[in-house]
Chains A and B, each alone.
Chain A
Amino acid sequence: MAENSRTSDVSQPKQPPKQEPVVVFDNVSIAFDLKPVLNNISFTVARGETRIILGPAGGGKSVLMKLVNGLLRPDSGKILVFGEEITSMRERDLFQLRARIGMVFQESALFDSLSVEDNVAYRLHEEHVPEDEAHVRVVEALRFVELEQAIQKFPSELSGGMRRRVSIARAIISRPDLILYDSPTGGLDPITSTTIIELVMKQRDVSHTTSLMITHRLQDSFTLAMNHFNPDTGKMEPIPGGGVDETTKFLVLNEGKVVFDGTTHELVTSTDPWLRDYLS
């Protein structure tokens, strides 16, 4: 366990003004081995917004997600997160910024050698939160993802869907201001996928956390856009009158470029031939 940490900086985060976007990409480009992956990408994510990122495999969606968290640095362009430019930020300062960001990885990325409890409490242990308080918060986070019974298990004993839920619990335990979901339903069966989408929706509608979510499943993205979570019944329900959630927006990438940036309504009424083909 760390001898000391950055809790003082983490507990008192600098809050951007309400109107300031949480994430800003300004002409961001990145290439690997001279092969461009993202090419002049620009978009913004407002506070409280859920941004669904769609696009064919290999289009640079996961790279974009890692750029938001500072895990990769762009070759050119600017990225602002919570109003701070992260492209030139030192790694040490990025660790403080990441304390406000939760991330769910494509393959969960749980630590194999740690139990579910230690995985979920990882950040709390790093911040020297007392053990009793950490346990209470772990139970609370696992209750949110309906996995309290798995607290003593190890990742190898869990199914793919359960691992994804533990990963969500680990991401939300520090009550982040921004959550990044990298294909949270990838490789899961439809029923488990719906459970995960319900959790994303619950986080959106109960905690109103800003989030970015990559998905390959159009069905999941439209479920998220056209339903809301009812805290009374504990289930998701269609928005009355065939409405859509106004805070949920779409970003579609293809071959490293933004081909669509807008609302659900704009997406379904788009006349762009490639987009219509992709959505069909």
Chain B
Amino acid sequence: MPFVSPDDFAKQKIAAIQDYSILSWQAISAIFSRPRYWADIYTQMDSIGVGSMPIVVLTGFFTGCVLALQSATSLKAFGAVSMTGNLVALSMVKELGPVLTGLMVSGRNASGMASEIGSMRVTEQIDAMRALGTDPVRKLVTPRLYATIFMLFFLTIVADAVGIAGGALVSVALLGLNASSYFNNSYRALEYADIVQGLTKPLFSAFIIATVGCYFGMSTKGGTQGVGRSTTQAVVVSSVFIIIVDFIVSRAMIGIFGR
């Protein structure tokens, strides 16, 4: 790899942030003017939302299971095994549901977006689209952005639900807790602020997944090797951003709601 001077490196990074910001703004604002590609939005909803359902259900379910199993060991020391439902519900809804769903969808879809758009870039299909009078941001990025935001919200709800169900299964089958008591504790543990916090996070995660995936796709250079590089970068950057933004949103929500 050639040596890059610190000022060139800084300039490259600032230019990348500028390009990313411009792309994100264009993608957001495109929905407010014509033409709008509704068919592409529905196709992406199916691909991103329905297509990610199996991994989200499996991840959510087994996270709930293991959470119940691990927390029961600690709670036992305090004679509070009956509180397992509270712990699973709070952890899933506030933190693990949104973050794990974001990371799983990022692994599946940010990579898919970067590789698909990146392949189109290196084979001049993006230029062909522009030459045929179509704005590639409007046609490719905007549908992916809005489809991800809409579907990740519901995928997170599904992950939360199956996580609590997984916790219930372990609590009842392995820990010998009463199912009714588990669900009652889970329900009582959750407050409005927890739900708002848990459902705000996927909106940010979805924005990161779609914009980062599309940005790396659109800026792909260097043939098939470049497509591979973009795909890897998209997953790494979007995953790290999701966790950082999760922390920021959590802190903001605690500041607003006090929990």
Contact = CB atoms under 8 A, between A and B. Distances in A.
Given A4-B34, A106-B124, A123 B132 contact: yes
Q: How large is the interface on B (under 10, 10 to 19, 20 to 34, 35 or more residues)?
A: 10 to 19
Interface string A191-219: 00000000000000000000000000000
Contacts, number: 68
- Find the residue from A66, A95, A103, A109 having the highest chain B CB count within 10 A: A109
B39 interface: yes
A95 B33 CA distance: 15
Contacts of B128: 103, 105, 109-111
Q: How large is the interface on A (under 10, 10 to 19, 20 to 34, 35 or more residues)?
A: 20 to 34
A96 B133 contact: yes
A2 B131 contact: no
B11 interface: no
Interface in A101-143: 101, 103, 105-107, 109-112, 122-123, 126
Contacts of A10: 133
Given A1-B39, A3-B36, A3-B37, A109 B124 contact: yes
B130 A71 contact: yes
Interface in B16-65: 34-39
Nearest to B37: A2
A71 to B, nearest CB: 5
A99 B133 contact: yes
A27 B133 CA distance: 27
Contacts of A109: 123-125, 127-128
A126 B124 contact: no
Nearest to B40: A1
A6 interface: yes
A95 B133 contact: yes
Interface of B: 34-39, 119, 123-125, 127-135
29 contacts: A2-B34, A2-B35, A2-B37, A3-B35, A4-B34, A4-B35, A5-B34, A5-B35, A10-B133, A66-B127, A71-B127, A71-B130, A71-B131, A91-B135, A95-B135, A98-B130, A103-B128, A105-B124, A105-B127, A105-B131, A107-B124, A109-B124, A109-B128, A110-B128, A111-B128, A112-B123, A112-B125, A122-B134, A123-B133
